[in-house]
């Protein structure tokens, strides 16, 4: 089976303080985030000693925080900078008017909408922003061709650096769980990674939210 390593970018100020950070704010990693990205790169180098990877791709969301994380991975793997691909569909959810707010501030601002979003974030959109379904439509359009490429040859490996909502949505879909539960049933910590095998009848989940 070809292997997909699905990683979340390392720590930003928003992630450290519990604030929404969507596609409207192109934040950079904190100093601690850069160190976490370095450790993530080291962890993935060790993982690759056990995974066939004659043909290796490194793909990132266009967001600065993801590209910085991917650059640390590339350095750990001795990959030249030009090997890094970007995929426009992998941007984080657009939180709209909730961008930069804490969950409590969202509750205070839009209590009824927030309650509906918490119940089904896949179907309900953030105010002037996106729903989980919106994110899945664009992100899966980039992820599915990568997965099809992996399915052809067990010596293929792709490392994808994306975001909290993007990764949780994809993992929820691959596990066959109801999409409305993607926030309740899947955790993605900064700098964490999951490993999924493609090429058999069904995807094989080998790691979920592994910490470097």
Pick from 164, 212, 184: which is nearest to 19 by CA? 164
Asked if 58 contacts 70 with a C-beta cutoff of 8 angstroms, the reply is: yes
Taking residue 114's Cβ as centre, other Cβ atoms within 10 Å add up to 20
pLDDT digits (tens, 9 = 90+) for 88-138: 999 999 999 999 999 999 999 999 999 999 999 999 999 999 999 999 999
Quote the domain boundaries for residue 69: 2-210
Q: Is the pLDDT of residue 1 over 90?
A: no
Is the pLDDT assigned to residue 48 strictly greater than 90? Answer: yes
We report the CATH number of the domain holding residue 106 as: 3.40.50.1240
| Sheet with 84-86, side-by-side order of all strands | 84-86, 55-60, 156-162, 2-8, 193-198, 204-210
Q: How confident is the model at residue 52 (pLDDT cuts 50, 70, 90)?
A: confident
Backbone φ and ψ for 200, nearest 5 degrees, come out as -95, -165
Tokens at residue 60, please? Answer: 């990132």
b/e per residue 165-184 (b: at least 16 CB within 10 A): bbbbbbbbbbeeeeebebbe
The answer to whether residues 184 and 162 touch, using CB atoms and an 8 Å cutoff, is no
Number of domains present in the structure of the chain: 1
Q: How far apart are CA 85 and CA 104, in angstroms?
A: 37
By the 8 A CB rule, do 94 and 126 touch? yes
If one counts every other C-beta atom within 10 angstroms of the C-beta of residue 115, the result is 11
The predicted-structure confidence for 170-200, as pLDDT tens digits, reads as follows 999 999 999 999 999 999 999 999 999 999 8
DSSP 70-131: HHHHHHHTT--GGGEEE-GGGPPP--GGGTT--HHHHHHH-HHHHHHHHH-TTTSPPTTS--
Global pTM reads 0.96
* Banded pLDDT at 77 (limits 50, 70, 90): very high
């Amino acid at each position: 089976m070809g292997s997909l390593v699905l990683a979340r970018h390392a720590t930003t100020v928003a992630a450290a303080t519990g604030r929404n950070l969507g596609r409207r704010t192109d934040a950079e990693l904190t100093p601690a985030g850069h160190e976490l990205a370095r450790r993530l790169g080291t962890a993935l180098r060790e993982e690759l000693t056990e995974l066939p990877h004659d043909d290796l791709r490194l793909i990132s969301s266009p967001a600065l925080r993801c590209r910085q994380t991917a650059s640390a991975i590339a350095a750990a793997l001795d990959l030249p900078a030009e090997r890094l691909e970007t995929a426009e569909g992998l941007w984080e959810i657009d939180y709209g008017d909730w961008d930069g707010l804490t969950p409590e501030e969202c509750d205070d601002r839009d209590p009824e909408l927030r309650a509906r979003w918490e119940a089904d974030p896949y179907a309900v959109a953030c105010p002037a922003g996106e729903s989980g379904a919106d994110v899945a439509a664009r992100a899966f359009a980039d992820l599915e061709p990568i997965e099809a490429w992996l399915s052809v040859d067990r010596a293929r490996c792709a490392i994808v650096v994306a975001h909290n909502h993007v990764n949780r949505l994809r993992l929820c879909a691959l596990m066959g769980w109801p999409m409305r539960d993607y926030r309740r049933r899947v955790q993605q910590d900064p700098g964490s990674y999951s490993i999924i095998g493609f090429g058999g009848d069904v995807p094989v989940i080998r790691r979920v939210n592994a910490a470097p």
